[in-house]
């Protein structure tokens, strides 16, 4: 093989991936940015309107509240699962835990289930006369049995908890794998220093899991910012607009109301937020390097 040929070889291997990636991801992404400068119903001719869509979008209380709701979901989808998964992973990695593997598999199961199934199932569970409230009544907490997904106060947090339930397994698995790589010498050293379990957790375990925590946060935060499936199947953005999220708003504007330019502007905004948050997470992780 000639030197030129050999030099071109890697590019040939990489080509197939880009043959898919460019036309089906990169080009449409660039298109979205362009589309956001137009007003278009998808069928007739588009009208160039410059940054008007962005002006409307920034001024719109509905869009602002949608992003606000996404931030709330970030807490439930990302922060909460990570916090809960840390001690869980630690517990399950104990050598004396038989069936730790089986338990971890069970906790991971929601990841394999379609969000539509999850939405439909939890929609039933959280109904006013559904099983959760029936359970609350049974243990004497009847006063707490509200219409979870129909309440202006509780709908969004309820969806958040569903997200927590779905994503804990992913975090536990990531952390468990990460735990295997923390050198035993660090724990021995901590033991020598007389560190108790608590101290050992904060001084050795958590810093050692920095990588998996970063990955977990990135993945879950992106899931929170997207959150289309779950909302579509359970509340469709209601009651009122309490569970409206950017993904659903984009779909509505583009496909139900025929305002594709506006939808594109929101999509661009969403992408910027996703990039920014991911960047931030990784930046903080790097800064905290031991």
285 lies in the binding site for another protein (CB under 8 A): no
d(Cα 184, Cα 198) in Å, to the nearest integer?
A: 17
Of 92, 163, 216, 217, the residue at the interface with another protein (CB under 8 A) is 92
Closest approach of Cβ 60 to another protein, in Å?
10
Can you name the residues that pair with 48 across neighbouring β-strands? Answer: 38
Q: Which member of 54, 65, 147, 157 binds another protein (CB under 8 A)?
A: 147
Contacts of another protein in 151-190 (CB under 8 A): 151-152, 165, 168-169, 173-174, 176-184, 187-188
Residues between 218 and 247 with contacts to another protein, criterion CB under 8 A: 222, 225-226, 228-229, 232-233, 235-241, 246-247
Written as six digits, the tokens of 82 are 């990570």
Residues 57-86 close enough to bind another protein by CB under 8 A: 62, 84
Bin 99: left if φ > 0, else alpha if -120 < ψ < 50, else beta: left
Q: Which of 58, 111, 199, 284 binds another protein (CB under 8 A)?
A: 111
Q: Choose which of 57, 73, 74, 107 interacts with another protein (CB under 8 A).
A: 107
In contact, 215 and 174? CB cutoff 8 Å: yes
Q: What is the total residue count of the chain?
A: 290
Rounded-to-integer distance, Cα 238 and Cα 243, Å:
6
Question: Does 54 contact another protein by CB under 8 A?
Answer: no
What is the nearest approach in angstroms of another protein to the Cβ of residue 74? 14
**Distance, CA of 270 to CA of 233 (rounded, Å):** 21
Tokens found for residue 72? 């709330």
Single out the residue of 201, 223, 204, 199 nearest to residue 79, CA to CA. Answer: 223
Pick 75 or 273: Cβ nearer another protein: 273
Interface of this chain with another protein, residues 255 to 284, rule: CB under 8 A: 255-258, 260, 263-264, 267-268, 270-271, 274-275, 278
Residue 216 near residue 82 (C-beta atoms within 8 A) = yes
Residues 7-26 binding another protein (CB under 8 A) are 7, 9-11, 13-26
Q: Counting contacts by CB under 8 A, is residue 206 touching another protein?
A: no
- Residue in 71, 83, 109, 144 binding another protein, rule: CB under 8 A: 109
| Distance of closest approach, residue 213 Cβ to another protein, in angstroms | 12
Q: How far is it, in rounded angstroms, from Cα 242 to Cα 245?
A: 9
Among 79, 127, 206, 285, binds another protein (CB under 8 A): 127
Judged by CB under 8 A, the residue of 83, 105, 141, 288 near another protein is 105
Residue bearing tokens 């606000």: 68
Q: If you ran DSSP here, which 8-state letter would residue 201 be given?
A: I
Using the minimum distance from each CB to another protein, give the nearer residue, 73 or 267.
267
For residues 24-53, which are near another protein according to CB under 8 A?
24-29, 31-32, 34-35, 38, 40-46
Whole-number Å distance between alpha carbons of 74 and 56: 25
Please say whether the beta carbons of 232 and 249 come within 8 A: no
In angstroms, the CA 117 to CA 219 distance is 21
Verify binding: residue 203, another protein, rule CB under 8 A: no
């Amino acid at each position: 093989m000639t030197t030129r040929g050999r030099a071109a070889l890697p590019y040939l291997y990489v080509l197939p991936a880009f043959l898919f990636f460019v036309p089906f991801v990169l080009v449409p992404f660039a298109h979205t940015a362009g589309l956001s400068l137009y007003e278009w119903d998808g069928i007739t001719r588009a009208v160039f309107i410059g940054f008007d869509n962005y002006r409307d979008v920034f001024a719109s209380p509905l869009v602002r509240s949608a992003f606000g709701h996404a931030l709330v979901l970030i807490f439930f989808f990302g922060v909460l699962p990570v916090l809960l998964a840390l001690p869980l992973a630690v517990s399950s990695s104990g050598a004396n835990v038989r069936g730790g593997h089986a338990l971890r598999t069970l906790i991971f199961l929601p990841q394999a289930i379609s969000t539509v199934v999850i939405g439909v199932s939890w929609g039933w569970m959280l109904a006013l006369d559904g099983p959760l409230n029936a359970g609350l009544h049974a243990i004497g907490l009847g006063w707490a049995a509200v219409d979870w997904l129909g309440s202006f106060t509780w709908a969004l947090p309820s969806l958040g908890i569903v997200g927590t339930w779905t994503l804990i397994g992913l975090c536990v698995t990531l952390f468990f794998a990460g735990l295997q790589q923390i050198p035993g010498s660090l724990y021995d050293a901590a033991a020598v220093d007389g560190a108790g379990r608590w101290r050992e957790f904060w001084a050795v375990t958590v810093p050692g899991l920095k990588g998996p925590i970063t990955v977990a946060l990135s993945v879950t935060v992106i899931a929170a910012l997207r959150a289309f499936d779950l909302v579509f199947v359970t509340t469709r953005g209601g009651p009122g607009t309490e569970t409206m999220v950017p993904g659903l708003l984009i779909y509505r504007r583009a496909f139900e109301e025929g305002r594709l330019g506006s939808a594109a502007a929101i999509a661009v905004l969403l992408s910027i937020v996703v990039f920014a948050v991911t960047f931030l997470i990784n930046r903080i992780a790097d800064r905290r390097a031991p």
